[in-house]
A and B are shown apart, each in its own frame.
Chain A
Amino acid sequence: MRVFARLVTRLALSRDPAQRWRQLSVAASSLVAAWCVLAAVALTGASHDVAGASASRFPIAASAPDEDALHVSTRGFTIDGRQASILWLEPAPGHEHDPAIVPPGLRALPAPGEAVVSPGLVRLGVTARSLGAAPSTAGLGEGGAIGPAGIGTQDELFAYVRPAPGRTLGSGGALLTFARFPAAGEVDPSRPNPLAVEDAVPRGPLMAALVLGFLVVPAGAALVLGVRAQSPVRRARSELLLRIGVDPRFVRLLLGAEGAVLAAVGAVAALVAFQLVAPHVAVVPLTGTVLVPGTLQVPPVQAALAVLGVVAAAGTVSAGGALVASTRTRSTRPPGVGGLAPLLGGLVVLLVGVPVVHALGVEPAPVVLGGALLLLVGMPVAAPALSRLVATRVTGTTDDSHLWLAAARVAHAPRRASRVAALLVAVTYLSAVSVAVHVGPLGGTQEVRSSATSAVGVFSADWRDARPGDVDDLRAAFAEVGGTTVLPLLTSEDPDDPAPRVAVTSCDDVAAFARAAGSPTCADGRLDTEGLAPLADLLGVHLVVEPVAADAPDAVLFLSDHPVDTLTVHRAGAFLPAFNPHDVLSLSGGSTVLSGWVAAGWAVAVVVLGLAVLRELVEHAIGAVREDAVLLRAGLDDDDALKVTRWTLLLPVLATAPAAYVGGLVVSLVGTGPGLTAYAPGWISLVTVVTLALSGAAVVLATSRPALRRPARRSASRARDADDAHVTPFAEEPARV
């Protein structure tokens, strides 16, 4: 055992310069991989914590009238492109001071007419007064906001509001009745939660897909290729041991342990750094999400397991491959169609599985995410087989001598030749999928039009427990805004024509608005019913010119001859219980939260895969010195060798790019069903072309560096001295001797 340990450490930590590149590659790849895995664990944990916080503020429903302790009405508005929730609370009679109905993060229910807002709203400048309520002292958070126990992230946008004194939420309709908030052991994140606020952190399968797709798989690819870094020292040691009769299993164990030792250096460094940094990180970069401090901390046991996983994976990869470099036979079998299995599997899941589960009435989103992930794994795995397939065709058809030889090399050693392509195809595919999500419904877009940005303002609003005089009170409240008209909105009782009706009885009702909107609704002081039609179409209501009797309307149409934002309307009408304004002119108010997470994940994946590409190119440049010497002796000149090298790298990139393109298209198409993506062939084409262009530029740049290529001339003979083989070093395991 002591001998084994000594052999392992001396090999792994050898001071021989020939081992340096491998030491650096394995340690750095493991550091990146471990960091990504720890981040994945942390984010999954954060997602779970956020879900738990959300569930903890979801009360337990009253199952019997005598359990009825808390009434809740949920309302919302759009701010900064995101959906904010307002939870109107009201204790049932006799439960005014019942501690069981106090939401987490509060010390008591807000008093009537008071509100407590979340830190996320505070960050956007929204206070209780912005909502037309008085500030409450019930909040346990900073500045009277909702305390940490009641929030999942510091970005969640919601507020608890009590109806004004003398008003109630009434009964019936969409009013929710609850018994109490759950105790610690009763929190169940899987319960459907009608009080859930918009997620600042993706949940469940979505978060799993994000961390797997953008962190774990790219880091895994980088780790596998990094651990395969070449080392003459390691090669010589294993061959020496085999030559003197050491059991091949022992040698394999030794090589695995060598990789594990080097990986441990990087992984432990990542662990230490992560555990030092994570407690202090609250902002998830690029997402804009601000978590509760400490959310990203990974428990020691989980962290240790993550690091051990990375080290074990590195050791396993390090132990793999051929032990003896035979130059007389192929060291490895060429990749067959089996390498295409994950890729084809992913396509089958997406193209067949998704429609099937959809037809069965099962939610297809997890299947889409699973298929997309399978494709992501399948792309790099399929790269050698695809490259060989294309290269074999090219060899037999091209007249270009450089492309001919390059294609022959790719066909001969597709695994080695397609390493860069395997990484780039993942980048292209991830970019295609990301753009499809970004332009899709979950990606969200900022409001392109709203009453705050238009020439006029139009809102509909409703409230609970309507009373006679409410509309007059609203008119009085809106008078302060100026230039406004408040018209009762009457619900249609005709099932064939559900559009609500608005009574317009005089030019005064619409004059200011119509003037601003450029709609001639009045002529000589009389209403022009034909002129009202465009206005009615815009508003989606029936405009009727005769008075409509209504004792206590519970909805109004609010017209303004100038821009008005939602909060202004909300503030003016907040004296009404569960006042619920809706911006009629808003074209979109979609969330940008997921878009931010996808963008962040994409950026991280591109950086990780980009570093791996860089490592591959450097390793290729190191090997190219020797390979070029061989090509020179075979009758090529420097320029020929350069062109062959470039084609050898580029051909697999070109061979695999269609897979990324088609994969991206399929995901973007299939993802439209569950609303995950938009079908965006134009964007995906653009992304593919740009990625290909950048890849080509990177390859040309990497193979053009004189500093890396100049030694070839001098080392032509030196390379020969190190080789006792009669074939070139361009094989699956480079530069074996």
Chain B
Amino acid sequence: MTDPVVTVTGVEVRIGRTLALPPVDLDVGRGEVVALMGPSGSGKTTLLDCLLGLQTPTSGRIRVLGEDLRTMSRRSLSAFRRRNVGIVSQNPELLAELDVVENVAVPLVFGGTPRVEALAAATAALAQVGLAGTDRLRPENLSGGEAQRVALARAVVSPDIRLLVADEPTAALDEENVRLMTDLILALARDRDVAVVVATHDTDVAARCDRVHRLREHRAHAGAR
């Protein structure tokens, strides 16, 4: 693998006396889709938070696009994340106060793009996820699958996105929407050369990914390794 987008080396997270994430090593290359699997409590979400810089590992090292996240300031980490990383979670978490296109435009607007341009880019992103014409709808008027696709459009609206972190993005969706969402993620990786790390319990989703990384089961409490 040349130029891995994500390099995780011996990362472990302890919160107090609790072992939240046992030591893990992981590399993800450009355009590669890696499924992160493991039982509940195995640390999938904790590892994703580490990739996002939202959680500082107790030990080990994380490099994203060659940058060591532990050495970055909070401000530069935020800017780095906004520029390079898209996030999709189990719940779309759209902002109810904004309409659909505004929701998608948020990362661009807060990244300094003029609002008119941001809205245009958001409209295009919505079209890419099959939601053309939904611009002015309110989030509460969308179905769960549509809302999740809006969240995906928001995650990748920035043209510079190199990493997509998805935490159980299909967990709350029906079979048809799971298939649709997976198609979109895979197409994104293929068409834009974006590295994708997706935490999932769904073996069908995992089977369609390039690689599956299993987190081992562990006892969370003190001393358990």
Contacts and interface: CB of A to CB of B under 8 A. Distances in A.
Interface in B90-110: 90-98, 102-103, 106-110
B182 interface: no
A639 B75 contact: yes
A583 B107 CA distance: 76
Interface stretch (A162-170, A226-234, A288-296, A721-729): A721-729
Contacts of A328: 140-141
Q: Contact size class for A? A: 35 or more
Given A399-B115, A635-B106, A720-B167, A730 B97 contact: yes
A728 B94 contact: yes
Interface string A622-639: 000000001111111111
B54 A717 contact: yes
Nearest to B113: A401
B215 interface: no
B154 A726 contact: no
Contact of B95 (A399, A720, A727): A727
B90 A728 contact: no
A723 B93 contact: yes
Interface stretch (B81-89, B126-134, B184-192): B81-89
Contacts of B139: 726-727
B110 A630 contact: no
B55 to A, nearest CB: 7
A637 B90 contact: no
Interface in A324-380: 327-330
Interface stretch (B64-72, B142-150, B203-211): B142-150
A726 B106 contact: no
Interface string A162-189: 0000000000000000000000000000
B103 A634 contact: yes
A421 interface: no
A542 B48 CA distance: 97
A636 B97 CA distance: 15
Contacts of A638: 74, 78
Given A639-B75, A713-B55, A723 B91 contact: yes
Contacts of B141: 328
A726 B55 contact: no
A412 interface: yes
Contacts, number: 115
A634 B107 contact: yes
A411 interface: yes
Nearest to B145: A726
Given A401-B110, A727-B139, A637 B82 contact: yes
A401 B109 contact: yes
B107 A717 contact: no
B193 interface: no
B54 A716 contact: yes
Contact of B45 (A401, A409, A636, A717): A717
Contacts of A327: 96, 140
Nearest to B87: A633
Nearest to B168: A720
A597 interface: no
A408 B98 contact: yes
Given A328-B140, A730-B96, A637 B102 contact: no
B159 interface: no
A720 B94 CA distance: 12
Contacts of A714: 15, 54-55
Contact of A633 (B55, B93, B111, B142): B93
Contact of A630 (B75, B95, B102): B95
A725 B90 CA distance: 10
Interface in B49-66: 49, 52, 54-55
A636 B106 contact: yes
Contacts of A720: 89-91, 93, 167
Contacts of B147: 726
B26 interface: no
A413 interface: yes
Contacts of A640: 78, 110
A590 B170 CA distance: 77
A404 interface: yes
A631 B94 CA distance: 9
Contacts of B93: 630, 633-634, 720, 723, 726-728
Interface string A407-433: 011011100000000000000000000
A405 interface: yes
A730 B95 contact: yes
A411 B102 CA distance: 15
Contact of A637 (B46, B81, B115): B81
Contacts of B75: 637, 639
B120 interface: no
B137 interface: no
Given A404-B109, A408-B102, A726-B144, A637 B97 contact: no
Contact of B97 (A329, A399, A401, A409): A409
Contacts of B98: 405, 408
Nearest to B49: A717
Contacts of B91: 720, 723-726
B80 to A, nearest CB: 10
Nearest to B108: A635
Contacts of A133: none
Contact of A731 (B89, B96, B106): B96
Give the 8 A-B residue pairs with the shortest CB-CB distance, closest first. A637-B78, A635-B107, A412-B97, A727-B96, A726-B147, A726-B92, A408-B97, A717-B45
10 contacts: A401-B115, A408-B97, A409-B97, A636-B110, A637-B110, A717-B89, A725-B91, A726-B93, A726-B142, A731-B96
Interface of B: 15, 45-46, 48-49, 52, 54-55, 74-75, 78-79, 81-82, 87, 89-98, 102-103, 106-111, 115, 139-142, 144, 147-148, 151, 154, 167, 172
Given A411-B97, A633-B87, A727-B95, 7 more contacts: A328-B141, A408-B95, A634-B106, A635-B154, A637-B110, A717-B89, A726-B151
